[in-house]
Copies of this chain bind each other. A is one copy, B any other.
């Protein structure tokens, strides 16, 4: 079996960052080496939290301790939220070193920078992530992070093609997986027929997951790349859940088989299916809570009573422990397979 080095945030209460990623990886049989980039009481979505960020110096002391003791032995590497360019650079240096020593290292890079048009890291983090992209095996940016990394505003299929092209060829990223994409009309209309046939009239009811895998020699050629694109949709569940992307990335890395040419889309099918089942479980639980723990987001009311938001967040923490059989796959009822998006690269 295999060993994962996970470098991301730690919260005492709830399931984001490492708390959302490590347990699933362990359930799936991986030894996980866990580096905490922050130690917070809870995720920032609660509005208030206590704790400290791990400094760049502390990170490099931990990495040096591992190196001196020859304990840097991962087959797979997972990086998530790392606050600040200085700390990220320390991680980038480690990844460069690991890649040179362990050429078969599978690196899933989640460039956690922001969401929904809002950056929640320092802007000087962006160039560091751009330099790290060529080291990755798979990246899992969200919609906003794709735009931030590529400087392409995603408004239509051509712009999406351009973004993939930049990531695959300019930055040499072999695989890109974007989960939880709002199903804009321009996306909906171009989807594979097998997906469209399952849609009802309101695209707002769905989230789209896309994977794009460059042909192995794609990064050698300067010509226009035509990557293998797969897609699938899941029903959108009401309200916001935290840690979903962290769980998805962990499952994607856990299920990825590098010997399988379709490895990324197959792993994405597993990650999509299990993540959605976990959200369903969490949503169903949240519905059973007292009314004041399932309020709607309302910035004004939330502002007047900080605990209003806190209670809502608390009730929507992922049910990872209760749903551990979903993670193991023994309790997975619905399988959502990523389907080839033939024609994605064909001009209109």
Contacts and interface: CB of A to CB of B under 8 A. Distances in A.
B35 A12 contact: yes
Interface string A165-209: 000000000000000000000000000000000000000000000
A119 to B, nearest CB: 24
B50 A61 contact: yes
A52 interface: yes
A322 to B, nearest CB: 7
Contacts of A58: 39, 51-52
A321 B63 CA distance: 23
A63 B50 contact: yes
Interface stretch (A64-72, A100-108, A210-218, A269-277): A64-72
Interface stretch (A26-34, A75-83, A130-138, A241-249): A26-34
A65 B51 contact: yes
Contacts of A32: 321
Nearest to A65: B50
Contacts of A89: none
Contacts of A31: 321
A: interface residue count bin: 35 or more
Contacts of A150: none
Contacts of A19: 34
Contact of A36 (B39, B46, B65, B322): B39
A67 to B, nearest CB: 9
A241 to B, nearest CB: 16
B66 A12 contact: yes
Contacts of A1: 321-322
A39 B59 CA distance: 10
A1 B42 CA distance: 21
A39 B62 contact: yes
Given A12-B35, A71-B314, A52 B61 contact: yes
A48 B70 CA distance: 11
Nearest to A29: B321
Contacts of A314: 69-71
A324 B26 contact: yes
**Max chain B CB contacts within 10 Å: which of A19, A33, A63?**
A33
Contacts of A40: 62, 65
Given A1-B322, A29-B322, A42 B54 contact: no
Interface string A305-345: 00100110010000011101000000000000000000000
Given A50-B64, A50-B68, 16 more contacts: A1-B322, A10-B36, A12-B33, A13-B66, A23-B23, A26-B320, A39-B39, A39-B54, A41-B61, A41-B66, A41-B69, A41-B71, A48-B68, A50-B63, A51-B58, A70-B307
28 contacts: A1-B321, A10-B34, A12-B66, A12-B71, A13-B69, A27-B27, A32-B321, A36-B36, A36-B39, A39-B39, A39-B58, A39-B62, A40-B65, A41-B63, A41-B64, A42-B65, A46-B69, A48-B69, A49-B65, A50-B61, A69-B307, A69-B310, A69-B314, A70-B310, A70-B311, A70-B314, A71-B310, A71-B314
